[in-house]
Structure 1
């Protein structure tokens, strides 16, 4: 190496995101007599990993080389060929780009030179430590000493940056929850009240909360195991109907419960498989086409406003499904959930009890428009009915006369959901849901619901969201004579659900959402006085 360091007149050729050959006369005070000669002009190659410095250069990946012949843009006729060859073979401090190039004709900074010099010093120290001191000549040492003096400021700055990065890395490793698992959380505090002639006196202002912890684990980088823990103390308002129920209302009776337990993994490029073990819903298999309002913590303040109620129909929570990508714009999702999949002695198990099966075609021709066509088939045992947690009492079909004559309910439900982002700050969407139900032994019934949604993302500030929802929660619209004979009549009138909210994003992790829900003719009966639910939801995410 003395033939290179001892006659150093040109600055090194770096492979550090950028590469270069530059004049070194400012350092040595001399200029080579013949810059084309490898014997009288010397190129020094240094390498240092880009991740060790907070320097933004190029993103090209580097690769260690064992022979200069691996560099496609370095030829034996090049003036620095012998210098590079010696550095590769003797010191191993040359790297190239992934495409097999060296790119030795680019400019560099003094900091980049210092980075390369630091790498060379480290390598020589390694040789000395390992007992190979003879490989380093006295001339090399003299040249390096001069360079260290000239670049003392840059070397100190470089080492300071490396020390800082090492400290940060140690802190990250010390505070990392797990190498495979990410911990996330959401906490909601809500102050709520209900106002109305009939219900106002029966209800008081409440302060309630819900907390969720998510453990997101990946074993391959493409799969996901989700485990969620829930705690909530929400008590429902005393109302004559399920209409207006808050989206984030959850009551775990003072204990922490296991919520979602799901594992999803891809098979090839087009198929994703889902295994749902607890607290699942048919919506977990597909896209509900309501991007701005579907989250209970940051979307609509009502349960109805989050998605078409038909997704909530089956009294089932464990099973499996898949998403199949038919093209870039079309996807087919399907799934099956059972109500007592884990119980081998009840006579039910995975296939003999309550269940729900879904199939949905989703069309997404652009990032502004999405359309979903949904079919759901469900079976509910006697007394369970079609409880979606929304809509009128009659639409639930779970009180079919006296308990001793209750019958299972089989249903076929159909939904159309759409959303169109008109501009970056306005999106219009909505859905229509229809259920054809049959109470076995009694007769048939029809249930309808619909909604129009208008979203105003980034309203007044990036991250904010304004929302308006107008619709009809599930309504029993028609019953056969057999159902009427046991007192199950259709809802007499129409109730409207009118909702408005504004989410203000205080920080990336804190949002405050005041909102109101107005229910006209509650329980689809104009004999009932309207009521209004007001809430202020504060959401913390971490």
Structure 2
């Protein structure tokens, strides 16, 4: 404390005498006689407005200053910092760091400290989810219910590395318990290893940005790939974006779609996204993705199948007045060498009423979905898409069509409850050999911190 006090006095004294000669006023304090060795210095500090003493007219020079009194001295020195030379400014920087909390409580903005302080910020979320029949399945099968509980915790971190460079990361741990597969009465649990599903270096300069690392892009409205949803899947690669006057945004990238080891095989792809702002309430989207054609364990009962996709999508999102939002997107798989009877197209739409604000308990949202996607229109095994359900039973399988309902409610600050229900059937029942998938339910509670 003595060293800190000496720094403070040195700084403020240097500022009080910098560039000008100060005339000594009459004795300002009754306990500082004219013959005292510090009389001249104290008078200069008073003249500079750095110190003012106590209400009883005393200076109390032998009394130890509190941290708040020291912070007041530092604050007054900061107000005169334009007079300071380089050495004095260096002293002030140290004092600002030392008394940052007290200065903040005094309402003093410490710009230099803010600039030099660590920029790492941590946030997180946790989810508990019960699912019944999340992947559908033939409703006529014996013991036809599949279910599980999932517990997930994610830690997010961001850090400003330089003026135009930022790091964004996310670490995830997930557990599945009381899991029962369809056509089985056996229950089991599974704990995933601690993983990171985002490790992105983001460079931004004006209208241009570039990401490299483990990234979470969203293409179009999300039927091809959605990195922002709860099912969001990462890509190991790079992504470049240019924003044309905030009206048209063009992005393109290249990377491995199997960053989360869903298939345990590198699935490199080129992908692109185009967004056009038609009005303040309407956006149009178009997207493209072409993975390399590898063999993955995504067929019936985990059978090896070709990952044969070449996706195009086109969509929109629109605000319909203050409370309604409408989203729609169509998709087509133009890959070569698909089966002759492949169902290549699909579409999905959502009408949403209101929206939640996790900081505002009592807010809610209700939405209705309709989807109709062929057996080769989306990836029902990798789950990179935005759908709340698989969109079919396996790659090249039976596709899906039908409707769903969702309800979200914020019951406490940073905590919400969500319910989902889907009633689906195969894209073409005559081809599939059965009429309905098992009805899908989910109950989810989310926490943010």
Structure 1 residue 184 corresponds to structure 2 residue 123 = yes
Counterparts of 1:313-392 in structure 2, within 5 Å, are 317-338=235-256, 354-381=267-294, 383-384=295-296
Q: Which residue of 2 aligns with 1:103?
A: none
Q: Is the 8 A contact 2:220 2:313 kept in 1?
A: no
Counterparts of 1:30-45 in structure 2, within 5 Å, are none
Whole-angstrom CA distance in 2 between matches of 1:198 and 1:169 = 67
How much does 1:317 deviate?
A: 3.2
Q: Which runs of 5+ in 1 are unaligned?
A: 1-65, 68-85, 93-119, 150-157, 171-177, 241-250, 298-302, 307-311, 342-347, 388-392, 478-488
Structure 1 residue 198 corresponds to structure 2 residue 140 = yes
Distance 1:260 1:133, change over 3 A: closer
CA deviation string 1:162-205 (max 9, x = no partner): 799629769xxxxxxx8221111111011233498535834365
Whole-angstrom CA distance in 1 between matches of 2:209 and 2:132 = 43
Q: Which residue of 1 aligns with 2:381?
A: none
Whole-angstrom CA distance in 1 between matches of 2:247 and 2:418 = 34
Counterparts of 1:104-503 in structure 2, within 5 Å, are 132-133=41-42, 135=44, 166=102, 179-194=118-133, 197-198=139-140, 201-203=143-145, 206-220=148-162, 222-234=164-176, 238=181, 253-266=191-204, 268-277=205-214, 280=215, 282-283=217-218, 288=221, 295-297=228-230, 317-338=235-256, 354-381=267-294, 383-384=295-296, 411-439=309-337, 445=342, 447-458=344-355, 463-476=363-376, 495-503=400-408
- Local SS of the residue matching 2:143: helix
Q: Which residue of 2 aligns with 1:527?
A: 434
How much does 1:523 deviate?
A: 8.0
CA deviation string 1:62-119 (max 9, x = no partner): xxxx99xxxxxxxxxxxxxxxxxx9994579xxxxxxxxxxxxxxxxxxxxxxxxxxx
By relative contact order (CA 8 Å, sep 6+), the higher-ranking structure is 2
Whole-angstrom CA distance in 2 between matches of 1:517 and 1:362 = 29
Whole-angstrom CA distance in 1 between matches of 2:40 and 2:140 = 92
- Local SS of the residue matching 2:102: helix
Q: Which has the higher strand share?
A: 2
Q: Which runs of 5+ in 2 are unaligned?
A: 1-13, 59-67, 73-98, 107-116, 184-188, 260-264, 378-394
Q: Which has the higher helix share?
A: 1
Q: Which residue of 2 aligns with 1:512?
A: 417
Q: How many residues align?
A: 344
Q: Is the 8 A contact 1:282 1:358 kept in 2?
A: no
- Local SS of the residue matching 1:469: strand
- Local SS of the residue matching 2:140: coil
Q: Is the 8 A contact 2:289 2:312 kept in 1?
A: yes
